Structure 1
Amino acid sequence: MEGITEGVNSMSLGVDNQKKNRIQVSHTKKPLFFYVNLAKRYMQQYTDVELSALGMAIATVVTIAEILKNNGFAVEKKIMTLTVDIKDDSRGRPVQKAKIEITLAKSEKFDELMAAANEEKESAEAQE
Structure 2
Amino acid sequence: MEGITEGVNNLNITDSASANKKNRIQVSNTKKPLFFYVNLTKRYMQQHNEVELSALGMAIATVVTITEILKNNGLAVEKKIMTSTVDMREETGGRPVPKAKIEILLGKTEKFDELMAAATEELIDNEEQS
Deviation at 1:13, TM superposition (A): 5.6
**Alignment gaps of 5+ in structure 2:** 1-13
Identity across matched positions, percent: 73
- How many residues align? The count is 117
- Superposition CA RMSD, Å: 1.6
Q: Go from structure 1 to structure 2 and tell me whether the alpha carbon gap of 1:14 and 1:108 turns closer, same or farther (over 3 Å shift).
A: closer
Question: 1:62 corresponds to which letter in structure 2?
Answer: V
1:20-40 CA distances to partner (integer Å, 9 max, x unpaired)? 000000111111111011000
> Which of 60, 63, 69 is the equivalent residue of 1:61?
63
Normalising by the residue count of structure 2, what TM-score does the alignment of the two structures yield?
0.84
Matched with 1:3 is none
**Alignment gaps of 5+ in structure 1:** 1-10
| Cα distance between partner residues in 1 of 2:16 and 2:86 | 17
1:65-111 CA distances to partner (integer Å, 9 max, x unpaired)? 00000100001100000000112225612111000000000000000
Normalising by the residue count of structure 1, what TM-score does the alignment of the two structures yield?
0.85
| Cα distance between partner residues in 2 of 1:118 and 1:68 | 16
| Cα distance between partner residues in 1 of 2:16 and 2:99 | 22
